[in-house]
Each structure stands twice: as C-alpha cells, then as structure tokens.
Amino acid sequence: MARKKSRRGTAKRRRQKGRKSKPLAVRLRCRLIYWMAVASVWGTIGGALSAGYFALTLPDVSTLGAERRRPTISLLAADGSILETHGDLYGETLTFDELPPHLINAVIATEDRRFYTHPGMDVIGLARAMVANVKAGRIVQGGSTLTQQLAKNLFLTPERTLGRKVREVMLALWLERKFSKQEILELYLNRVYLGAGTYGADGAARRYFGISARKLSLPQSAMLAGLMKAPTRFAPTRNLKRSHRRTAQVLDNMVAAGQLSAAAARQAKAQPAHPHKMASAPDRRYFTHWVLERLPDFVAVGHQDLTVVTTLDPGLQSRAEKGIKTALARDGERLAVGQGALIAMRSTGQVQAMVGGRSYQVSQFNRATQARRQPGSAFKVFVYLTAFERGLGPETVMRDSALTLGDWRPRNYKRTFVGETTLRNAFAQSINTVAVKVSERAGRRHVIATAERLGITSPLPPHPSVALGTASVSLLELTSAYAVFANNGLGVMAHGISEVRDGEGTVLYRRSGSGPGPLVAPLHIRQMTDLLRTAVESGTGKAARIDRPVAGKTGTSQDFRDAWFIGFADDLVTGVWFGNDNGSPMKNVTGGGLPARTWAQFMTGSMGDKKPDAPPKKKAPSFFKRLFNFN
C-alpha cells in the first residue's frame, strides 16, 4: 500500500515537472488558440442569431411595385403651359431598351463599375472605401453597389445605422437572385431621386431639359448620372457651374472605364448641357399659391396626382409683373413708394394676372389678396349706386359745402368748395363732402349693405367716414366688386381654377355656372358706368385714358398712405394699388397719378386686336327730367 502511494506521488511530481518545463510562449499560444476557438464558436452563433434577427425584421418585399412618394400637383396656365409643380415628379416608366446607352454607361462608370460581376455586394469596392475613409479621417467614399442603393430606395430609410446597412446587403443579395442585371438597372433608373422633387430618369429629363429620357444626349446623360452622388448639391438649377464640374468628372469616369473615347469626352465638355427655362417665374407664385390654398374647397387633396388648369394668362401676367416693377423702379424711391400690387380679371371673374408685390423671393406676403388697406374714394361707387337705387340720379344737384357730423368734419382734397354741382361731376372730381351727404341721405347702413352685396367681405363699421373709404378692404375684393359693373350687373366670384383632373385624366371638377346672378338693375348699371367713364374722361382718372372707352375710379387714403385705380375696358377689369407695408405716407401719390398711369400702361396692348367699343351716345336731359330728377 505504501509502495502504491509512493508510485502515484512520483508520477504526479513527474507531470508537474513536465508542465513547468514547457516554455511560456507555448503555453500562451495554446491558450490563445483555445479562446479563439471559443470566440469563433460564439461569434458564429451570434452571427447566425443576428442574421436571423435581421432576416425576420426585413421589410415586406411585396411592396416592390409600390411607389412611395408625395402626390404631384401640376398647375397649368389657361393656355396649357406648366406654371408650377408641387410634390414628387415622376416621368414615364421606361424599359431597359428605352433607356439611352449613354445614361446606363455613365451611371455604371460612376456609381458601380463592377456592377455586372458582383453578386450584389462589392467586397473590393467596400474595402477600397474603408481604406479611403480611414486615411481621410471621415467618410469620403461609399461602398454601396447600385443594387444596394436600389434596395435602400425601395425598402429602407436613409438612416445611417449598422442595422440598416445589414438589411441593405441582405436585400441586395435577394434582388440579385430574383432579377437580372438589366432588370435591376431598369428599376434603379426609374426610381432614383435626382433632385428638384424628381424621381427617375424620365422625370428628371423632363424637369431639367424638357424632353423625354429617351432623347437624352451624352452631356445630358452625364449630368443626370452626376446627380446621383448628391442630387441637391449638384442640381443644375441650383448651381450650374458645380453641376458642369461634376458632369466633367462623370465623362472622365466613362473614359477610364473604356466606355467613351477621350475625343468624345472633350467634345461633350465643350458643349455642356443646360437646363431649360421653366415657364413659371418666381413672382407667379403669388397666383399659384393663392390657387393652391383654394384647391381643397373643390377636390380632396389626398394621395392622388392632380392637374389643375388655372385661369392665368401668361401674356397678361408678364405685362402685369413688368408694369409693377417698372413703376417701382422708376418712381419708387422718388415718391417713397415701397410696394405695389395688381389684379386683372375678366368680367366673369377669371383672374388672369396677379402681382402681390415687387418680389416674391423677398416677400411672400400677397398684397393683392391678403393686405387690407383703405380704398379712399374708390369706395364711392357703393355710395352712389346706393343713392341711385334709392331715387337719386346722375343729374341730381347737391351743394359742396362745409359739413360737420358730430366731431368729424370731412374735407375735400383741394380744401375748397364748388357750391352746387351734379352727382356726376361730384363723382368725377371726387368731391368728399358731396359723397358724405349722399351717403347720409341714402343711409350709410344701406351703403354698407350694397358693398357687401357686390362682394366686399371685410368688416365695414357704420361710421359716417365709411363713405370716403376709411374701412380697409383687399384689392381682390374691390376689383371683383367693380367687375359687377362690367358684367352688366351680374354677380362676380373671382376664381383661379377652371378644371381639376386626376392622374388618369378623369375630370374631378370643372368650373360652371355664372355666379350669384343679377345684383344690380340694368338702369343703375348704365348710370354707374356713365359716372365711371366721366371720372376718366374729365375727372381725377384722366391718366388712365387709353384708345378705347374706360370706366374707372381713383382712390387715395388719408396722408397718401394708399393709392388705387380700379377700372375696366371691354371685359377686362384691373385693379392697381401702391403703398408701403408699414403704412408710412408716400410723397403726394394719388390714385390719379402712379396707379392710373400703371393701369393704362398695362391695359394698352392687353386688349388684343379687338376693336374698341364705341362709347354710348349721350343725350341731353329734357327740361322735365332736369326739373324732376327723372333718369
């Protein structure tokens, strides 16, 4: 028994001695191999679990054919030209054979040169990008293939996370197994975002060049391919020089990839692509945004594409913009005038030109529709119409003399009195005291009711001064009310939308009807038109005279803060306003000055080739009519 114990002890000492005799490096190597094996096993298990997790959390690939985009609203002018497009713009879905070879080659040379050989993930490209990023200390290159980019565009969000990258790779491998290389390119080029709200090659070609992607030239194809790296930064509509530099890089890439000769690249650089000019100028947005605000009143603006045919006349709009800008550039500083606005509409309410200020880019506030300013004597049409409806007439005689109502005393512009005068002359010369007397005789609440009947919706306090236009109204309201006289007494609803169609061309809304119907009797329309023409022929509106009969009225608010001219010739009704946003006075600017001249310049040439209407022959009133004020 003692011997056995002795042998065991000896064997144990020998084993311990053997362990101690192994070098330290060998022991460390053995332990390293052991733990590497353990880590490998757990890493494999962890990788399998992670892959399973990401596979289970992949998005639904059945949405491959669905387009995730905002609905497109295209606004057209009355002649069918494009004014503005809102939302995401897609063109036609083109097949691979319809896509220009230059575009395909430019995209592959720039974005994924090994596209036809990799299985969806380019290991070489990924390694090269990692090295470049490490050297630069920041992300300067991406290793995503076209297939990965397509997977991200179709199924994922742009978030920069490891999880998103893993899912992107897995989806790219799935796409490569399910589709051919040509089909992947076709999907990619029909879905890729190319700046300015455009998706797909055809949408971008139509937005930037006004053509189908089928007709893209080499320089145009290279420009679109260059957008894919940073669509907003390299958009030609944002910075053309930067876009041309990027296009040159794409052409060099095509030469390096053997897809283009150096001579062809030099020729393309010498004749770079230029974006076409859009029909919509910035200042037309006063009108287009006014239309968009009213669109939900006619159709449901949801997830469908819409085409909105508006009433805007591009020719009249250009004349209106030029007229306001010219007036402000010529006289603005000299006369302390900061802003102007103009609205032109047909007598039945179709708004054909709208200028809401001197520059939409500087200020989006629409002074034609949003501003409420005092119309001054331009409000007197409601006073005199009310008086005529209650028994007075153009030949009624009243005295221009001092007048006091409570603690208020109206004054005339010239601070003088003319004595007895007819209402026709008092209106033409814009005599304030007579207008107040007429208002008081007809009843100021009746005057307010007349203004509201003709379309004034702004509050009108029943103060005696309401007769002189001290209550604030908008240019759109006042111009629409004057249109009633041009429309033979029929009510007018100012509008900018003629028709709305969905993406399939189905008409959802079409303007019909003639508005509120008769509002003013024919006799009183003739009387008011006579007064309005007299105001231009021999009154305060002389500067508005053109080559045909004009009916209109000037308006000037207290201390020259606002100056107006509203009038019509044939069936075109136009309102002009000048003033300052802060309400500061202008330098003696009256409605018969800058507004009337601007109105006449706009209307001259805006009437087309139609011959002027002959003015109605005036008959002198008989003795009995003068005696008894019959009209």
**Ranges of each domain in the chain:** 86-270, 317-628
Burial class (CB in 10 A: 0-12, 13-18, 19+), 621: middle
> What band does 115 get if pLDDT is binned at 50, 70 and 90?
confident
Higher pLDDT, 91 or 318: 318
Give the separation between CA 267 and CA 435, rounded to whole angstroms. Answer: 74
Active site residues: 111, 377
What is d(CA 358, CA 328) in angstroms, rounded to the nearest whole number? 8
Q: What is the mean pLDDT of residues 255-263?
A: 94
Return the biggest CA–CA distance within the chain.
164
Q: For 162-166, 190-194, 436-440, which range has the lowest pLDDT when averaged over its residues?
A: 162-166
Higher pLDDT, 622 or 83: 83
Quickly state the pLDDT bin for 25 (edges 50, 70, 90): confident
Helices (H) and strands (E) in the chain, counts: 22, 14
Dist CA 117 CA 124 (whole Å): 11
The answer on pLDDT for 171 being more than 70 is yes
Using the predicted structure, report yes or no on whether residue 371 has a pLDDT greater than 70. Answer: yes
Q: Which CATH architecture has domain 86-270?
A: Orthogonal Bundle (1.10)
pLDDT at 280 over 60: no
Q: What is the average per-residue pLDDT within 174-193? A: 88
The CATH fold assigned to 317-628 is Beta-lactamase (3.40.710)
pLDDT digits (tens, 9 = 90+) for 515-524: 789 999 999 9
What's the confidence (pLDDT) of residue 624? 39
Q: Does residue 473 have a pLDDT over 80?
A: yes
Closest CA to 444 of 476, 417, 405, 413: 405
Least confident of 33-37, 63-67, 204-208, 396-400: 63-67
**pLDDT tens-place string over residues 282-320:** 789 999 999 999 998 888 877 788 999 999 999 999 999
pTM over 0.75: no
pLDDT at 168: 74
Beta bridge partners of residue 556, listed in sequence order = 563
- Provide the 10 A C-beta neighbour count for residue 65: 7
For residue 630, give Cα distances in angstroms to 422, 424, 437, 441: 13, 14, 20, 18
Instruction: Compute, in degrees rounded to 10, the torsion defined by CA atoms 159, 163, 164, 166.
Output: 150
